[in-house]
Structure 1
């Protein structure tokens, strides 16, 4: 088995079905399996996918989140490579074969531990690929760009995207299309289960880099990602989502940059104080958000 493609579904039945169909349509001349982990969906997903004979269907008894569900799928994977693919993606070409071939041909020379490709939106415009591994210093610098009275004093440079080359190195590959050797993934113990969602791929690749591997983007194939890429600023998270994102960020920084975490917390508290007046959310939502994030400081 060349590649095990692992997809996590949570109430995205139509998107997931389209994703699976695009894999089957375009993936040729490569031995692969599709493993679908359903996070206890309530939209009829289990009725649809349990009947499919062209996938391996795993039904979780609860919503495990992104990392834990992928870990569950990886335990049953037989492929040399694992390809973690979001349910809201669509293949446009034989991307999986191309990525496996690039990994095979360049894995040792480039010390590839994680590989992604170029993500595009439904209009085929660039929609992300990877970014820098966050640190307390980088997040403090970013706060200085979003706090209005400090914005003019700082600029944060986004990831440079040299798309005219075959490949380039990044801090981490976005979790929407993350390919790894199964042996490396397993040696790292998979995704850290303390992350429900978000920052789990950054944490995994930080640990991967600590043992000498690198993260690369292969630019000669593209995959549609229907959600906004991580390079775009999402302006209207619902309250639960912004709590999860911020919580995961703080857990990541506390785990991976502990020496600077106290300094970061001072800036994070300022950011929270200003969010008390965030008019995009109700007063009750802002209070809930602040209370939940403060728990991550302990």
Structure 2
């Protein structure tokens, strides 16, 4: 049987050293599959992009430069357009990750053996070697208002324990965006990522849309990688706002108007009650109360270089 082909897509934004380490770990660990590595530079500063360019000299690497920051969804979709059109799988991997095992081969074998799997992911570890949660729950009113522990008692299959150590593959609601290994045919069928999501909630959205056409998400714990969490994104008020812009875009797609109103009230109260800890919470509560308008997204501030 011919070896499967995996197109591995990495986004780089002012973080070239992480990209070098990630690419080197892929080339070191990957066996028994054909693969390419597409590095999309998401409009890094000119000096940072110049420092990145030697990555194109590494094996199996193609470097693409975007003239604007397209965010997570848009940047990855740019990478898809340059990917091998006959690829069997796409692996969307954060550049601040390194592989601990032969992840691409392990996930390929799992997907080949699991026809209803639309996407899967490897087990995440932190930089200090601690096991980290690799999946989450799709946002529902029940889980937000009465808590995940309570709703799990009624539907444990839909809410597997996040902190449990798993030794065998398990079906999960969605996989964290740092390790999205996706069946190319299913990804094509849903039109790829929704590029309206600039920074957050992309993984929930793609898992939801795959579920709508009959494909599920799985954690494959035998495959392992390290994620140096948060190294490529600076947290600030504008970035915090971006989360709620994406979250409420998700709610508008999949939930009714009354449900969205309840979600808005929930998040206003959640942030507002913490105003004494940091004024950012009061500002976020006001932003959510205004409807988390997408016109205030960072993507609308982009200037073409």
> In structure 2, the residue corresponding to 1:222 is in which secondary structure?
strand
| Distance in 2, Cα, partners of 1:103 & 1:225 | 22
How do 1:1-298 and structure 2 match up within 5 A? 2-42=5-45, 44-51=47-54, 52-53=56-57, 54=59, 55-78=61-84, 79-104=87-112, 106-108=113-115, 111-142=116-147, 159-161=160-162, 163-227=165-229, 237-259=235-257, 260-275=259-274, 277-281=275-279, 285-286=280-281, 288-296=283-291
Q: Which runs of 5+ in 1 are unaligned?
A: 146-153, 229-235
Partner of 1:151: none
Q: CA deviation at 1:139?
A: 2.5
> In structure 2, the residue corresponding to 1:103 is in which secondary structure?
helix
| Distance in 1, Cα, partners of 2:107 & 2:16 | 26
| Distance in 2, Cα, partners of 1:5 & 1:200 | 17
Q: Which runs of 5+ in 2 are unaligned?
A: 153-158, 294-305
| Aligned-residue RMSD, C-alpha | 2.4
| Distance in 1, Cα, partners of 2:210 & 2:170 | 17
- Normalised to the residue count of structure 1, the TM-score between the two structures is 0.83
Larger CA deviation: 42-51 vs 170-179: 42-51
